[in-house]
Chain A
């Protein structure tokens, strides 16, 4: 695992204050509320959180695949290789999707078109981004190559999705995403729908592919174990906000200060090397995204919540790369308000 980067690296992805809402005629769902993070070329960031935290919405926003009428990006910007995805035209987007940025979808049972052969579905993105001018034979050759890469015999490319098991279908979904060797891969809970044994295989495969091709990876998951295995940076998401961002080292080091929600997440998984009488689940539920609480979004469930947490939105406190969005951090040594730090940087 690479250590916290000190030398400036080129950024693959930069998300600035992204805000996404789902607008129906009855209500507004505040799915993503001003998140910012960045990802270096070749880096991996894990987006962690409970179901409904806004992880998939973030992923879809990155690809501009939100439902057209209801899903609205209200604020912020997404820079891919330094160019804004939000300002791209439809044509530019089509060029980006598949070739520069690709996505592995969550549910392999519904993500594949039932009436097209898997070969057709894999070759499609190669065909669509055929700037090298490959011949049909070369495209088929590439399909075979990709299928081999994900461990499916190329002879099966003439079969339809229903002829594959769940794990095999997820491999197909991965093959589709990897077909054009994208620069940035978004994996949205790629293993949730799979058996535990298959999960490990699929994860291993994604890691191998990333290492071999130097792909940058956004790994979306609710499983901290997966994050520990694959990611060098972690962003913890809660109710559409990033409550804690940092390197894997920062996050997994229990000596560090953490956001109470992150602590809660760690409290609800068993440890092998410690004697714990009982796992501690986080009490309560995620707030209703149509009616978010006034103060800190986590305050209704937070054991450490104080008066101020109920009233004021917390600031982000920074130490190095480690960022925490919590009121209690104002008294912790070494952590500075993000804004103060930025001003200082601007002055200097």
Chain B
């Protein structure tokens, strides 16, 4: 099992290098050099050249990339912001918990609602307990997260005044963003769980279980559920990554000072290091979650577990 975890961790390294290179390359296309952005319109060409030299911007592209990565790896230093001249690392660390909390709460909400309801609808197929949740999920899965966020804001902040409409100081501030981001995800998860469960119930081994005289409840919980959950686990990992990106709209809407708003502000102000740092951190976080999910997956699925535990297979 350790071998599997190790293999997955090692596999992550080239991916992170690839992503950092990709982001670095894309953002290098951004028109304008850092010095002209920092110094503004009135600066002389000499001053600009001088500052660009100090920043190392006159070095070749690959060398700049190498230095950037080296600083991150050896010193955990993401450079400094063109705008504020402050270290990016500090800002990243301040914003990371907010983004993570939002994404984590939303995916938790999605799992807590999506998976059990999905199972229920599959088990009660063709009854009202199936059709009603399925229709609701169909609608919720189609809602843009930022629009649902607006509706919640309108109803619960503006009209009812129950929840605050901006800020991230207490956990109450996270309820509306969590609902806005998590409910569509819960709907997607429910739809997926339902079809996974239905697919599993049709399998031959379920018939085998029934042929032994197993009562329906045992057939569902002991025989079907674990098999149906295996693909769902991977979806949770993939969707967590997507959620991180979707959080952009939600963060903007609720003025949450997370990593997404950092990226957006960075793009507006042509602050390339901010954009790069936040993008890299978010991607690394997603890769970590996917890794975690893969490991959980291996524990659930004996086929993978056995492959790496050294026994016969």
Contacts and interface: CB of A to CB of B under 8 A. Distances in A.
Is there direct touching of A and B in the complex, by C-beta distance under 8 Å? Answer: yes
B205 A128 contact: no
Given A160-B303, A162-B302, A162-B303, A113 B209 contact: yes
Contact of B212 (A98, A107, A110, A115): A98
A115 B211 contact: no
Interface in B254-313: 300-303, 306, 311-313
Contacts of A162: 302-303, 306, 313
Given A113-B223, A116-B223, A162-B306, A129 B213 contact: yes
Nearest to A122: B212
A115 B300 contact: yes
Interface string B201-235: 00111011111111110100011001100100000
B213 A115 contact: no
B126 interface: yes
Contacts of A65: 207, 210-211
A99 B214 CA distance: 11
A92 to B, nearest CB: 10
Interface residues of A, number: 35
B302 A160 contact: yes
B213 A125 contact: yes
Nearest to A113: B205
Interface residues of B, number: 28
A176 B205 CA distance: 12
A163 B148 CA distance: 48
A114 B209 contact: no
Nearest to B203: A110
Nearest to A186: B211
Contacts of B222: 116
B210 A97 contact: yes
A121 B219 CA distance: 12
Contacts of B218: 128
B303 A124 contact: no
A196 B216 CA distance: 37
A114 B300 CA distance: 11
Given A65-B207, A113-B208, A163 B213 contact: no
Contacts of A105: 204, 207-208, 211
A93 B213 CA distance: 7
Cβ-closest 8 pairs across A and B: A98-B213, A97-B213, A125-B212, A110-B204, A98-B212, A113-B205, A160-B302, A94-B213
Interface of B: 126, 203-205, 207-216, 218, 222-223, 226-227, 230, 300-303, 306, 311-313
Given A98-B211, A121-B208, 12 more contacts: A65-B210, A65-B211, A69-B126, A110-B205, A114-B303, A115-B300, A125-B212, A128-B214, A129-B213, A159-B311, A162-B313, A173-B208
15 contacts: A63-B211, A65-B211, A96-B213, A97-B211, A98-B214, A102-B211, A103-B211, A114-B205, A114-B302, A115-B227, A115-B301, A125-B213, A173-B208, A176-B208, A176-B212
